Structure 1
Amino acid sequence: MMAGRTKFLAAAAVAVALLGNQAALAKRVTVVPGDRPIAIDLPNAWKVSEIKRGIQAKTADDEVYLWFESYRPAQFQTLLDEHNAYFKGQGVKVVGTETAKQVDFPTYVLKVTEYPATYEGKPTVLRYLSVVPKAEGDRYLLVSYWASPAGDKQYDSEVQRILNNLAAAYDGK
């Protein structure tokens, strides 16, 4: 009887340790402020910093950058102009026509726009996700994604978890 209890306690200790590890693998950040904020989990290894309209998250090796920027519709063109100036300053060049698709969800509309681009003469990944809530007065969110092709592949599963976490946050509103 004692051996069974010892095994159970050992298994419980392992489960608690694993759960504790999972909590340590992610940090909760708010990406849309306000009365109904939107918060997501980011991998602990990612560096997070505040920016003018939200947060910047990047991998420790700087291969993937994500910006989460909350804005009002009237600020959209200003936001895009700031991004264009930033990317131009970094040496990113758009080398073709963007492709865009829009998906309608129950609580928001998602528009994904991809730009064929180069950085230092080599291909780079440049993508925007625009989240437009259907509720009147809610702030919009622009998620900008910039990655090296190798970083895009290496961190794909982490980025997908981040975006799925974001979608769940909006769906839960």
Structure 2
Amino acid sequence: MNRTIALALLAFTIPAFAHAATLKFPSDAPIASITIPDSWGPSETESGIEATSADSAVYLSADVADNGSIEKVVSDAVDFLTKNGVNIDPSTQKDTPVTEVNGMNMTTIEWDGKDEDGPVSVGLLFVQTSQDKALVVTYWGNKGEEDKHDAEVKAIVASIKPVN
């Protein structure tokens, strides 16, 4: 997980996706776009976008927040993980420094954890899309299985752009 997000934050080029769509969200007043492979089954949610790799090894979501709702969006992400059986080990928390990608500030908080299938990587990526809007990207991946999706995750994160 650390390697995946770090690579995404430092990416200078975006690998080409085979059959991927660039989605702008939320659809009623877009603040960001993201490119996700079609095989991940991306779909719009009430507050953003979610997708899961075809083999279910990696789950990603990107939820819209503003200055007044960021804590609620983070709380909702943690609640979602908990409801899905993810137990985070707080002692493994790693924070990354703020990095600029596509003109936006990004930072991450990452943990190790467990779910019903075994060890997992969990992360929250914060992307400042404008002065008062941000995305909270939730990452949940099965250790070992997630590695084969490093390039895709890197490209998905690097594809996030603000919509003006």
Provide TM-score, normalisation by structure 1. Answer: 0.73
Distance across 1 between alignment mates of 2:110 and 2:149: 18
Tell me if structure 1 keeps the 8 A contact 2:17–2:37: no
> Higher RCO, 1 or 2 (CA under 8 Å, sep at least 6)?
2
Q: What is the one-letter code of the residue matched to 1:151?
A: E
Cα deviation for residue 59 of structure 1 reads: 1.1
Q: Which has the higher strand share?
A: 2
Corresponding position of 2:100: 105
Corresponding position of 1:49: 43
State which of 117, 124, 131 in structure 1 corresponds to 2:120: 124
Tell me if structure 1 keeps the 8 A contact 2:48–2:63: yes
Distance across 1 between alignment mates of 2:147 and 2:25: 24
Q: Which has the higher helix share?
A: 1
Q: Give 3-state SS (helix, strand or coil) of 2:159's partner.
A: helix
Corresponding position of 1:146: 140
- Identity over the aligned pairs, expressed in percent? 21
Per-residue CA deviation, residues 81-136 of structure 1 (Å, 9 max, x unaligned), is: 22222222211111233111122428322111101211127210101110124x43
Corresponding position of 1:115: 111
- Please state if 1:158 is matched with 2:135: no
Cα deviation for residue 25 of structure 1 reads: 1.2
Per-residue CA deviation, residues 42-101 of structure 1 (Å, 9 max, x unaligned), is: 112111122121010111221111101111121122122222222222111112331111
Unaligned runs of 5+ in 1: 1-21
Tell me the C-alpha RMSD between the 2 structures: 2.5
Q: What is the one-letter code of the residue matched to 2:125?
A: L
Distance across 1 between alignment mates of 2:118 and 2:159: 31
Q: Give 3-state SS (helix, strand or coil) of 1:57's partner.
A: strand
Provide TM-score, normalisation by structure 2. Answer: 0.77
Q: Give 3-state SS (helix, strand or coil) of 2:70's partner.
A: helix
Unaligned runs of 5+ in 2: 1-15
Distance across 1 between alignment mates of 2:29 and 2:78: 31
Structure 1 residues 109 and 61, CA, compared in 2 at 3 Å: closer, same or farther? Answer: same
